[in-house]
Amino acid sequence: MTELKESKSAGGAAVGSRPWPLADELTAPFWDAAAAQRLVVQRCTECALLRFPPSARCSHCHSDGVEWAELSGRATLYSFIIDHRNMIPGFEGAYTVALATPDEVTDDSIRFVTNVPGCPPEDLRIGMPLTVTFEVVHDGVTLPQFVPEAGS
């Protein structure tokens, strides 16, 4: 399971950056691809089901056979909220928490949780086209995020 690691100095105080994910054996291929600005998800080698977040077995056929499939990075805004509570260190003011459905997925089996950086909340529309961008959130940690597709 992917853990979130808070940004702490040696003394334990937050240093102002947002929390970042901590890769493990299961999720490392996803984070390595993100660092190379590629968006990948697992694909079952038995039934071809795409899955995310990474898991040890296919939820459809229970196979442990897996390969990594690269996605186009295009997605659709499925839903969103604006969090005004600002309870997570490293975030200032209200921020968007959105669900993006990749274009390759037609059965709603995969959605990415994302902020929509650079997009004012009043400009968000359910169904709007999005495209992936890669944000370095910590040294060596790159987080895929989704932003409005150019021209949308």
Question: What tokens does 48 get?
Answer: 């071809």
Assess contact for 121 and 128: CB atoms under 8 A: no
Q: Is 105 helix (H, G, I), strand (E, B) or coil?
A: coil
Number of neighbouring beta carbons within 10 Å of residue 44: 20
As measured in angstroms, the least distance from the Cβ of 65 to Zn ion is 8
Nearer to Zn ion by Cβ, of 63 and 79: the residue is 63
Nearer to Zn ion by Cβ, of 60 and 125: the residue is 60
As measured in angstroms, the least distance from the Cβ of 25 to Zn ion is 20
> Tokens 């274009």 identify what position?
103
Nearer to Zn ion by Cβ, of 50 and 141: the residue is 50
As measured in angstroms, the least distance from the Cβ of 9 to Zn ion is 44
Site residues (vs Zn ion, CB under 5 A): 44, 46-47, 49, 58, 60-61, 63
Q: What residue type is 66 in one-letter code?
A: V
As measured in angstroms, the least distance from the Cβ of 66 to Zn ion is 9
Cis peptide bond upstream of 53, omega within 30: yes
